[in-house]
A and B are shown apart, each in its own frame.
Chain A
Amino acid sequence: MTSARIGASDRLFLIGTAAAVSVVPLLIVVITVIVVIAAWPAVQTHGLTLLTGVEWDVPRQQFGALPAIVGTLTSSAMALALAAPVGVCVAVFVNELAPRTIGTAVGALVDLLAAIPSVVYGLWGIFVLLPWLRETVMPLLRDTLGLGRFALFSGPAYGPSLLASGLVLAIMILPYIAAVAREVLAAVPRAQREAALALGATRWEMVRDAVLPTARAGLIGGVMLGLGRALGETMAVTMVIGNRNALPDSLFAPAYSMAALLANEFNEATGDAHVSALMAVAGVLLFVALLVNALARVLVGSVRTRHARVPG
């Protein structure tokens, strides 16, 4: 083989693998363009009503996705409020407190939550979570604790509700938050912990004053990654949220989410206008997910690189 031919085959190989790498950015561009083109007719016809309208009435060609948007945002926010503290607890437990073997085991078990398919969460939600909420939790919150005075906890206890979807989402995003939090805590230099301990800090003071502040940007990034997961989560939410296309007035009320709207209506879409409106919903979901993930990755990456070169 002459060196010229070696050079040629090397170049060919390089071009081949570079083409494979380019597939990823290409996919993001193509997905965005295709969804936007498909949504365009609806955007032209309905404009901002797609985002702000509260009526989703297919026969009358009214496509206001606000109830679904609100449902997605509130259930995701609930999930974050529940999962973020627990996720950080898991990370602190595994990295700072637990004996090594217990820590590793707990870490692996929490990771396992991420391996359970979404539809299995939904199945469990239908048969365990919903009856439990209907018969125990909702009456307890509303009547026994007297929270029914507030609109948030009032109304009949059906089971399928914003509350149910928030709870399922919290369980589902917990492993993602915990995993990133562990990674970020592990990147905090050891010297920082030793310095705090040498100053006489208790273990909790070390965590609070020396570890968590250093890892803050990454922790926020991890929580945002969880948010990204929660926003786009489809099956489990569709199965427990109640699929009622109206603005929810209580956590106990059945509601809707953007992903559930797509899952339920896309196959039965009647006519191009309906499909295009659903594409617009998919576009909103895609846009929000891209934004949240892009930000989250920057935050997580910043912690990783900032401390990578510090001798530990």
Chain B
Amino acid sequence: MSSIVSPTVLGAPSGRRERRVPGGHELANASRTAQRRQRTDRLATLLIWSGAALALLPLALIIGLLLVRGSAALSVAFFTELPDLSLPSGGGIANAIAGSALLVGIASLMGLPIGIAAGLHLATHPHTRLSRISRYLSDVLNGVPSIVIGVFAWEVFVRPVGHFSAWAGGLALAVLLVPLVARTTETVVSLVPVELTEAALALGFPRWRTSLQVVLRTALPGIVTGALVAVARIAGETAPLLFTAFGNAFWSMSPDEPIAALPLTIYAYAGSPYEGWQTLAWGGALVLLLLVAGLSVVARLATRRQLSRVGAGR
């Protein structure tokens, strides 16, 4: 590039020098500058490449080790039995998998309808004061530490009741879910072509039926995948469950009692001195990662396809 264009243009060429006819040593100077700039360019490029490579290193290390140590833990018993210290394998984590499913189910029942309705409103009334404030604050709420949400859920749902419960855990997760789902729903719904809405209204549809049967239905695949990503994120959360769901070493499916969860089990067994339980922690981590990362990768690919399809319709 700069071998064609005069290399002294960028940088700080003084006007005085440009008006003079360049002498021999000035040309040499100029080509030295050009060389220096090329070297800087190559060095910077190299640094940026290594920075990007450095970013991928921990990912490879973590996932690699999880695959190795986690897959060693997986067996049929791992998915069907309870933790059992008397066995060298440590038993299984069936209670934690079921407990996580129940917690995520409760959170989804509470959080998804609110989040999706909120997202629909944000997209269909984008410029009202309520929408502008809520859009901003849902990004802020997204950044509130999840442990604080756990403390909050404890104060409103565990302290008055007097005991830990799956309800409280589900509530804490639902608080995390609402802003996530609201924003992904808004993104997808705002891509629905406005002509569709206009056509429905022109045909005499009331607004609420237009919203539900035309707008929401067109955006539904994107909304579902967005919701999946959000649910996958909260399924991996531990901190909000510490003082709400609490964990349970036994089988429980009652929403009114303390309940086990996959992330809680990993946390409890990671610090255990028993090899069997450490193995359970690694196996649990692999299962959790496959659930969370797998779900969000699949959902993101699907969303991208959906976005490009809806976008093309404009």
- A residues sitting closer than 8 Å to B (CB atoms) are 1, 6, 9-10, 12-14, 16-18, 20-25, 27-28, 30-31, 34-35, 38, 85-87, 89-90, 92-94, 97-98, 106, 108-110, 112-113, 115-124, 126-128, 171, 174, 178, 196-197, 199-205, 207-209, 225, 228-229, 231-235, 239, 259, 262-263, 266-267, 278-279, 282, 285-286, 289-290, 292-294, 296-297, 301
Contacts and interface: CB of A to CB of B under 8 A. Distances in A.
A35 B151 contact: yes
Contacts of B10: 196, 199-201, 205, 209
Contacts of B130: 18, 21-22
Nearest to A235: B238
Interface stretch (B20-28, B87-95, B174-182): B174-182
B285 A123 contact: yes
Contacts of B233: 115
Nearest to A269: B243
Interface of B: 1-2, 5-7, 9-10, 37-38, 40-41, 44-45, 47-49, 51-52, 54-56, 58-59, 61-62, 65-66, 69, 113-115, 117-118, 120-122, 124-125, 130-131, 133-134, 136-149, 151-152, 154-156, 175, 178-179, 182, 206-208, 211, 232-233, 236-239, 242-243, 246, 263, 266-267, 270-271, 278, 281-282, 285, 288-289, 292-293, 296-297, 300
B1 A38 contact: no
A123 B114 CA distance: 34
Q: Which of B120, B130, B141 has the most CB of A within 10 A?
A: B141
A120 B66 contact: yes
A69 B44 CA distance: 37
A128 B65 contact: yes
Contact of B121 (A21, A200, A231, A282): A21
A167 to B, nearest CB: 9
What is the interface of chain A mostly: helix, strand, loop, or mixed? helix
A228 B144 CA distance: 8
Given A200-B5, A205-B10, A262-B151, A289 B145 contact: yes
Interface centre among A20, A122, A263 (most CB of B within 10 A): A20
Contacts of B120: 17
Contact of A24 (B38, B44, B59, B141): B141
B312 to A, nearest CB: 19
A117 B263 contact: yes
Nearest to A98: B52
A278 B159 CA distance: 14
A12 B208 contact: yes
A5 B58 CA distance: 60
Q: Is the interface of B mostly helix, strand, loop or mixed?
A: helix
Contact of A200 (B7, B137, B144, B278): B7
B296 to A, nearest CB: 5
A98 B37 CA distance: 20
Contact of A121 (B62, B140, B147): B62
Contacts of A118: 236-239
Nearest to B5: A200
B152 A120 contact: no
Contact of A263 (B37, B134, B239): B239
Of A9, A108, A123, A208, chain B has the most CB atoms within 10 Å of the CB of A123
Contacts of A38: 155
Given A17-B120, A89-B48, A10 B141 contact: no
Given A20-B118, A25-B133, A266-B242, 7 more contacts: A14-B207, A86-B51, A87-B55, A200-B10, A204-B41, A204-B45, A297-B136
Contact of B134 (A24, A121, A262, A290): A24
Contacts of A86: 51, 54-55
B65 to A, nearest CB: 6
Nearest to A292: B143
A28 B140 contact: yes
A124 B67 CA distance: 12
Nearest to A170: B58
Contact of B52 (A93, A128, A208): A93
Nearest to B268: A119
A103 B148 CA distance: 36
B285 A120 contact: yes
B208 A24 contact: no
A200 B9 contact: yes
Contact of B45 (A110, A128, A203, A229): A203
Contact of B148 (A109, A199, A203, A282): A282
